[in-house]
Amino acid sequence: MHKLLLKGGLVVDPAAGEIFPADILIEKGKIAAIGQDLEASEGTVIDVGGRLVSPGLIDMHVHFREPGFEAKETIATGSRAAARGGFTAVACMPNTDPVADNRAVISYIRARAEQAGLIKVYPVAALTRGSRGEELTEMADLKEAGAVAFSDDGRPVSSAAVMRRAMQYARMVGLPVISHCEEPTLSAGGVMHEGYMSTVLGLPGIPAAAEEIMVARDIILSEHTGCPLHIAHVSTAGSVRLIREAKARGVPVTAEVTPHHFTLTDRAVAGYNTSAKVNPPLRTEEDVAALKEALADGTIDVIATDHAPHTVEEKDVEFQLAPFGMVGLETAVGLVWTELVIPGVLSPVEAIRKLTVNPARILGLQDGVIRVGADADITIIDPGLTEVVDPSTFASKGRNSPFSGKKLQGLPVATIVRGRLVYDRGLLAVT
């Protein structure tokens, strides 16, 4: 079997909180050795040249649209986008058509990921049948089929009674519940954050309270049921306060933030820019500041993209008619570095922790570590490399990025999954 030696890198160990110079020897898809001056008698040698060698990044919130919406994205194109963005694993949300609420769809997703053969795709199964918020899915069967969590992302469970039962049952099955927190009667009709910008643009707003009420409800239900709860895409300062307080009390709650929510505000919607239409909506400067603070103090555990590709035609319409969502896989690392690491909000190790071990721990995965015997899933990051975002270069089918033209620093240059180079920016010497 092929051997791969990564020479001269700075290895990031997010679990131990260390960065140290070392070579990594990969054999049979696993990490065989970590140490100084390793030699390979055969196989390929990659000169990392002092760049960061991170455990493979995990994006625990993507929409790969297959089955059902292949014009937006497929598991193959989504996998390519993930690899290009430095991600070795993703968890894909179940709002496909049909909804991933049964073993057949979960198996199909896994088979398509296998065929694509690039990255690890972990399916998230629906919490309720058809994500209709009424009957529970066969959670034990779904877990056996390979589901790593349950969520009705995009169609949040409005009934507190159903949510309570679902969390009781998910806890028994032993998988976390991921909640897209949105109180539907408050958000109804809304297309952007409710505030000065929505007033000026004359667009119906989604108040911060629509998210916070559900964050509060689900925290209470998590405490009540003991079910691990992961709050998806936190967007408001009020949600941060609720999560911080719940964590202090010992409620089994974790949370994620997206790069767009810690980078942009509702001002990005000016000019009716449909690329900036996303749910939850882009909020205010105060919210962005609170999200950064929550990243720094550990209230927010995970950075996830909520990668949501749409076709150009779907977004090229009146703002109110455009679908919610933006692509995120291929700009995530650059935004984490540019917006968080370089300004000192997070250290490189802290940032990588929120992209590796933390999501792995929440989803119960063995990934996200560099350890002898572990899968050789590795992302090489060049913290000095810059580029201007150009959606036309994306591997994703989606072009719906609000970051077009933005200069980013700190980019993935190579992605290795189970010892195989699945993305190579062409900057490393390979012999």
- Summarize as ranges the residues that interact with another protein (CB under 8 A): 194-196, 198-205, 207, 271-272, 313, 316-321
Closest to another protein by CB, 261 or 315: 315
Q: Hunting for tokens 């667009």 — which residue is that?
A: 203
95 is an annotated ligand-binding site residue: yes
CB of 393 to another protein, least distance (A): 24
324 is an annotated ligand-binding site residue: yes
Catalytic hit among 101, 152, 287, 306: 306
CA distance 99 to 108: 12
Closest to another protein by CB, 272 or 409: 272
Q: Encoding tokens for residue 173?
A: 């099955």
Half-sphere exposure for 379 (CA within 13 Å, toward CB): 31
CB of 68 to another protein, least distance (A): 21
Phi, psi of 50 (to 5 degrees): 80, 5
CB of 201 to another protein, least distance (A): 6
| Per-residue burial over 75-90, b = 16 or more CB atoms within 10 Å of its CB, e = otherwise | bbbbbbbbbbbbbbbb
Closest to another protein by CB, 183 or 194: 194
CB of 311 to another protein, least distance (A): 13
279 is an annotated ligand-binding site residue: yes
CA distance 16 to 2: 29
Closest to another protein by CB, 37 or 313: 313
- Answer whether 33's CB lies under 8 Å from 24's CB: yes
47 is an annotated ligand-binding site residue: no
61 is an annotated ligand-binding site residue: yes
Is 424 an annotated catalytic residue? Answer: no
Closest to another protein by CB, 63 or 315: 315
Beta-strand pair 120-125/87-92:
parallel
306 is an annotated ligand-binding site residue: yes
233 is an annotated ligand-binding site residue: yes
One-letter amino acid for residue 190 of the chain? G
* CA-to-CA separations, 412 to 305, 342, 422, in angstroms, rounded: 15, 15, 12
Residue 427 falls in which region: left (phi positive, over 0), alpha (psi -120 to 50) or beta? alpha
CA distance 55 to 381: 10
One-letter amino acid for residue 97 of the chain? D
Q: Hunting for tokens 């929510």 — which residue is that?
A: 261
Helix (H) or strand (E) holding 19: strand 18-27
CA distance 301 to 213: 21
CB of 199 to another protein, least distance (A): 4
Residues annotated as part of the active site: 306
Annotated binding site, which residues?
61, 63-65, 95, 153, 180, 233, 279, 306, 310, 324-325
